Structure 1
Amino acid sequence: MSELLLKYLPEKAIPLVKEILTEHPIYIKIVNNRRTKHGDFKRFSNGNFQITLNNNLNKFQFLLTLIHEIAHFITYKKYQNSKPHGLEWKQNFQHLMLPFLQPSIFPENILPHLANYLKNPKASTGSDVNLTYALKQYDEMSGKNFIFELAHGSIFKFNNKNYKKGSIRRTCFECVELQSKKTYLFNKNAEVLYLKNDNE
């Protein structure tokens, strides 16, 4: 395991990660932040494998993403044609994560949400609002909010456009882009820059 990888991990998790990577060695590359994903697993045409992880993740999100991607690697080696986030991946991910579910590794405000998420893990931790919010508390201050934290009618900026927060529709908020007046759906845990409350 590279020395570079060590600085991104919770200290108490390092021996467990080393154990996994000794059994399942794979090239891991740290890359600049990508807006659409925390990490990924790739198989190249020459038969090599690679995991990439964003360099801006806090230690707990980084660890969770790393194990998520290693589970893809192990699942591919065993089954090859299984669905990317199918039953085989879920079982491997759960098996790998179980030893990490301890308060010496994850803070106690994350553990119950992480345990609940792992009962039926999805393609992205972002699908679990409670877990996402708990993990977010350990990010460096970005000045941004989750959209669900904003009051109805709040004006916010997202991708250099201004929107007004509207009503919730199932798991998303209807928001109006102020210039075009078009309505867009935002996931509850979308990160946005709060500007003001239009109702004030």
Structure 2
Amino acid sequence: MDKVKVLERYLPPEAAPLISRWIDYFKCEFKISRNRNSKFGDYRAPYAGKGHRISVNYDLNPYAFLVTTVHEFAHLHTWNEHKHKAKPHGAEWKNNFKRMMQPFFEKDIFPADIKHAISNYLDNPAASSCSDLNLYRSLRKYDTPKEADVHTVEKLPHKTIFKLKDGRIFRKEDKLRKRYKCVELSTKRVYLFSPVAEVEVVQQQ
């Protein structure tokens, strides 16, 4: 099947032709991946006879898919220019990310709220779009509605009992700077959760 047609299923359609050209130009293996809770996408540099490889989670909304795709291609471009001499999210990557996002701004692909959040994020891009909560929340507005029992940690009352997809059960405790302390009930170990981590409520206090 035509690469642009496949990409149009996951990206805003106007963005698909340029991403398709990047895949060809950079000779990149581009994989649409299963959901990974720990990350939206991944870039792997050439190694052991394999070329550039990028994967992006299949279940992202089109705008989140595009932001993640540009993020990973910026890694690829930075590796081509600097190899291992550049830090993963250092100045070189930040400059490439800004430049590579520009065509999509010019095409006016993003809604105003996402464009504003991306502009703020691009002033100093972080390691992950998940780590910029303003951008993450803006992107999430365009997700398919979640099941009724799925909530973000920040919305839960103090001491709420919740569980993850893997079945582990936690109790929400106090906020510590940007994250929430949560106690795993079976081990009594304390973990730090992102405010926007999605969980299922077991029991509210």
TM-score (norm 1): 0.88
Match for residue 173 of structure 2 among 150, 166, 177: 166
Give the 5 Å matches for 1:6-25.
Answer: 6-18=8-20, 20-21=22-23, 23-25=25-27
3-state SS of paired residue (1:34): coil
Q: Does 1:139 align with 2:143?
A: yes
More helix by share: 2
Number of aligned residues: 198
Structure 1 CA distance for aligned equivalents of residues 93 and 159 of structure 2: 41
- Give the equivalent residue in structure 2 for 1:176: 183
Which residue of structure 2 lines up, in the alignment, with residue 77 of structure 1?
80
Identity across the alignment (%): 37
Q: 29-38 or 14-23: which moved more? A: 14-23
Q: CA deviation at 1:19?
A: 5.1
- Check 1:19–1:47 CA distance in 2 against 1; reply closer, same or farther (3 A cut): closer
Aligned to 1:35, the other structure's residue is in SS state: coil
1:14, distance to aligned residue in structure 2 (A)? 2.8
Residue 109 of structure 1: how far off its partner (Å): 2.5
Q: Is the 8 A contact 1:103 1:111 kept in 2?
A: no
**Offset, 1:101:** 2.9
Alignment of 1:1-200 (within 5 A): 2=3, 3-18=5-20, 20-21=22-23, 23-42=25-44, 43-46=46-49, 48-81=51-84, 82-101=86-105, 104-143=108-147, 144-158=150-164, 159-198=166-205
**Gaps (5+ residues) in structure 1?**
none
Q: Secondary structure at the match of 2:95?
A: helix
Q: Output one character per residue of 1:153-178: Cα deviation in whole Å (capped at 9) or x when no partner.
A: 22211231222211111111111223
Deviation string 1:132-171 (CA, Å, 9 cap, x unpaired) is 1121122223332221122222221123122221111111
Q: CA deviation at 1:21?
A: 4.4
C-alpha displacement of 1:104: 3.9
Shift of 1:98: 2.1
CA contact (8 A) 2:23 2:30 kept: no
Aligned Cα root-mean-square deviation (Å) = 2.1
Contact 2:159 2:171 in 1 (8 A): yes
Structure 2: gaps spanning 5 or more residues: none
**What is the identity, as a one-letter code, of the residue corresponding to 1:168?**
K
Describe the SS at the equivalent of 1:44: coil
Amino acid of the structure 2 residue aligned with 1:161: R
Specify the SS of the correspondent of 1:69: helix
Q: Does the 8 A contact of 1:102 with 1:111 survive in 2?
A: no
- In structure 1, C-alpha distance between the alignment counterparts of 2:21 and 2:83, rounded to whole Å: 23
1:101–1:115 Cα contact (<8 Å) kept: no
Deviation digits for residues 62-105 of structure 1 (CA, Å, limit 9, x no counterpart): 10111111111111111112111111111000111123236841
Instruction: Provide the rounded CA distance (Å) in 2 between the counterparts of 1:39 and 1:90.
Output: 17
Distance 1:45 1:104, change over 3 A: same
Alignment partners' CA distance in 1, 2:186 and 2:51 = 47
How many angstroms apart in 2 are the aligned matches of 1:112 and 1:72? 23
Answer whether contact 2:27 2:51 (CA < 8 A) is retained: no
Note if contact 2:152-2:199 (Cα within 8 Å) is conserved in structure 1. Answer: yes
